Amino acid sequence: TQVLYDGECPICVKEIKCLQYLQQRQQGKVEFIDISQKDYDGMKYGGITYEVAMEQMHVIDEKDKVHCGVPAFKVMYTAVGLAWLAHFISLPGIRSLMDKAYSVFAKNRLKWTGRESCSKGTCAKKQ
């Protein structure tokens, strides 16, 4: 499982660090890919460009299927040993709430983390 995340997003990084800690018991099962690194090459990761990856969470499962948004979190949580959380966010009422909440977060995370210029197309990978 490959998790694509924005290493410039403080909120995203906190969650990824927590998941990296949890996955220590699942060694090698999850690879966390920082899309903000200058050497990020989307062709290695399902053809997901930096720009597309910046729009929402992407996770590539062990069968090379790409999952986006809330379904990506389900795959990611299962892979790090949080199957109970993956199941919980998939429950019909919870899933609907999660979809709405994540949509708001994804649209506003750059502004909320002090990177508003990124939402205007001037965000770039690390040099």
**Within a domain: 20:** yes
Dump pLDDT digits (tens) for 4-24: 999 988 888 999 999 988 887
User: Are the C-beta atoms of 60 and 47 separated by less than 8 Å?
Assistant: no
Q: Could you tell me the two tokens for 44? A: 């290695």
**pLDDT at residue 124, as a whole number:** 53
**Within a domain: 83:** yes
Q: Which domain holds residue 69?
A: 2-113
**Within a domain: 63:** yes
**pLDDT at residue 111, as a whole number:** 81
Paired with 66 in beta bridges are 60
Question: What's the whole-number mean pLDDT along residues 46-68?
Answer: 93
Amino acid present at 16: I
Sheet order of strands, 66-68 included: 31-34, 2-5, 58-60, 66-68
Q: Could you tell me the two tokens for 58? A: 């992407």
**Within a domain: 119:** no
Question: 66: how many CB neighbours lie within 10 A of its CB?
Answer: 18
Q: Could you tell me the two tokens for 120? A: 């205007």
Please count the structural domains in the chain: 1
Per-residue pLDDT band at 118 (split at 50, 70, 90): low
**Within a domain: 126:** no
**Within a domain: 24:** yes
Does the pLDDT of residue 126 top 50, yes or no? no
**Within a domain: 47:** yes
